[in-house]
Homo-oligomer: A and B are copies of this chain.
Amino acid sequence: MENAIEASGTRIDAVMELVRGRIAGRSLTPGDRLPSIRALAGSLGLSTSTIVEAYERLVAEGVIVSRPGSGFYVAGALAPLSMAEIGPRLDRAVDPFWVSRQSLAADDTVLKPGCGWLPADWMPQAGLRRTLRQLARAGNADLTDYGTPLGLPPLRQLLARRMAEQGIDVSPERILLTESGTQAIDLLCRLLIEPGDTVLVDDPCYFNFHALLRAHRARIVGVPYTPSGPDVERFAAALAEHRPRLYITNSALHNPTGAVLSPVVAHRVLKLADQAALTIIEDDIFADFEHVPAPRLAAFDGLERVVHIGSFSKTLSASMRCGFIAARAEWIEALIDLKIATNFGGGRMGAELVYGLLRDGGYRKHMEALRDRLGHARREVGGRLRRLGIVPWVEPQAGMFLWCRLPDEIDAADIARDALKQNVVLAPGNVFSLSQSARGYMRFNVAQSLDGRLLEVLSAALRR
């Protein structure tokens, strides 16, 4: 049956191709009448239903139009149909959007050691395909209805159990599903800060925190990051001087450094936050890459002044969007209103797919294999970079990032601009640094850095 469908699909495609070819070759021009269904079926030796379906699809594509009672006609003058995406902008300033714009726009010919996600073939493809087939058999409402205000109940229950394992005690009613981790932080900024409020970030930190906070017209203040968390003295001084409303950080597998918050620093940060009535957003999207769980601010604090957020873009798929917020009950109520106001109902299908994948026993095995594979890549890429004099700032215990110092006072932005001309997207240090004090650093995604061409491009750029 499948073969019959495919064979009939091929015939329909052939008819569509024929019509498109005649239009492209100008033997049919806008406004021309197409052969009648019966005539074309006869001349091609195909059934009329095949021609009907092909014409219907061409109508759906807007290539031809149907005039009831009269027949099918080539559609009129159309907007240009260039396949060209907006290509790499070689002249773009190396700003917080530099890495994201270049990486998201990159096609398969581009190396992306600067991007923040894994290659597609490192992701749980078999589980995802299985889950899609399961979803194709789900109830009607799953496929077409909006999600509930909080989002899919069994997924929130599963997340509550997972957080309990990390020592974070939260009921499913205090978990709100979002479209992404970034949207989670965005909603929290809408709730918690006003334009002009001050927000603390780590220096360096994930570059999109800068972009997001600028969109909220926040004043951003950076606190130097050490291998065991934020510099506590400087953190205390920043609280006293700037009276920030919010601090956004990663406790475990800090982006870009791969460092981990120590229990001592966690305790001191929370104590200072308490005294200053500071709210903390703990962005935990790299949690599942850890071998041994690091301390979580949310676990020490009991989700009083810490909000815990996460997503599945790094471990399951960035193509289906799903993130979450775990927070105080009264904030969840207000966040639901904000989510409805700015995005209406949530995506139920993304949550269904995440739930299907997480409940599958295969996910744990996939993550175990992935952690090993990343460990191997960290060692391999770390070794290659060292040979070029590019040295990691810390030796991360897990995750995909190596935050490295370049040799000889070289400016990483120069190297990155140079590499982009050769279709290699790098992540120069200063896109992560509010103080612009990381010009000699570069973040490497080890899973995207195994292609030999990277070494060639890097060593040529370093010699220049």
Contact = CB atoms under 8 A, between A and B. Distances in A.
Interface of A: 53-57, 59-63, 65, 75-86, 96-97, 100-101, 104-105, 108, 117, 120-121, 123, 125, 128-130, 132-133, 135-137, 139-150, 153, 157-158, 160-165, 169-173, 179-183, 186, 190, 195, 208, 211-212, 214-215, 313, 316-321, 336-338, 340-350, 352, 358-365
A281 to B, nearest CB: 14
Please give me the 9 A-B residue pairs with the lowest Cβ-Cβ distance, nearest first. A62-B161, A56-B361, A120-B140, A211-B341, A132-B136, A123-B144, A319-B348, A57-B361, A321-B347
Contacts of A179: 179, 321, 343, 347
Contact of A100 (B172, B319, B320, B340): B340
Nearest to A340: B100
Contact of A53 (B54, B85, B361): B361
Contacts of A182: 341-344
Contact of A344 (B84, B125, B130, B208): B208
Report how many copies the assembly holds.
Answer: 2
Nearest to A322: B347
A31 to B, nearest CB: 14
Contacts of A320: 347, 349-350
A48 to B, nearest CB: 14
Contacts of A342: 182-183, 186, 212, 215
Contacts of A162: 62
A348 B117 CA distance: 15
B340 A101 contact: yes
B361 A101 contact: no
Contacts of A149: 85-86, 101, 104-105
A164 B136 CA distance: 33
A61 to B, nearest CB: 6
A367 to B, nearest CB: 10
Contact of A133 (B123, B133, B190): B133
Contacts of A130: 136
Given A62-B162, A208-B340, A79 B171 contact: yes
B62 A165 contact: yes
A379 to B, nearest CB: 23
Contacts of A153: 83, 85
